[in-house]
Amino acid sequence: MNGRCPNARQSAFSLVEIVLALGIFAFCIVVIIGLLGTVMNSSKESWMETRAAHIARQITDDLTPDPANTNSTTQATADMGLLMTPSVVQVPLFPANTYTNSAIYSDAGVPVETGATNALFKADIKIFPVTVDTNIGTIPARKLSQLQIDIRPVSQPSASPFRFVSRITPSMAEP
């Protein structure tokens, strides 16, 4: 006697079931690997947009005059902001015509020289006077300017920029 009960059923997976399970598993792995590239690109794009927003905020903060220090020659005045580049640039906050400037930033958001090995972003800064607003009407000169910051990767000069727009009003406006 072989020691097996004649009524006992042998239970096991058939070769067809194993091949089918392996095929489903392989298909799932291929789909996951295919999505990995998309997820990585999305993550990089998100990181770049976050860093660009950080740089735009830094530029906006630099351009905001500090009323407590308007008498110091190293600080911004009510009409001039500072653009932190490798050399500090004074920027008119209420220009008569459009004012433009550019600055290069590293991945850490630090201003660097043009052509530096760690240069990652280029910020194009435009400040132009606003004389008419659809909601307000005519605006007196030197009361309102618009700041537009376009940030794009240095390696992709033709890429569509991350654009940040803000309005500037004088902190010490005359009555």
Tens-place pLDDT, residues 58-68: 998 888 765 55
**Which of the residue ranges 3-7, 28-32, 39-43, 94-98 would you say has the lowest mean pLDDT?**
3-7
**Structural domain contains residue 100:** yes
d(CA 20, CA 52): 48
Domain membership of residue 67 (yes or no) is: yes
**19 domain residue, yes or no:** no
- More reliable by pLDDT, 7 or 156: 156
Its domain, for residue 85, covers: 42-168
Contact 78/70 with Cβ under 8 angstroms? yes
The count of structural domains within the chain is: 1
pLDDT at 69 over 60: no
pLDDT at 54 over 90: yes
pLDDT digit string, tens, across residues 119-141: 999 999 999 888 777 677 777 66
Averaged pLDDT score across all residues of the chain: 83
Kindly state whether residue 16 falls inside one of the protein's structural domains. no
Residue 13 lies in a domain: no
Least confidently predicted of 16-20, 71-75, 122-126: 71-75
Per-residue pLDDT, 75? 53
Tell me, yes or no, whether 83 lies in a domain.
yes
Is the pLDDT reported for residue 72 higher than 60?
Answer: no
| DSSP 8-state code for residue 91 | E
* Residue pair 148/126 in contact by the 8 Å Cβ criterion: yes
Residue 28 counted as domain residue: no
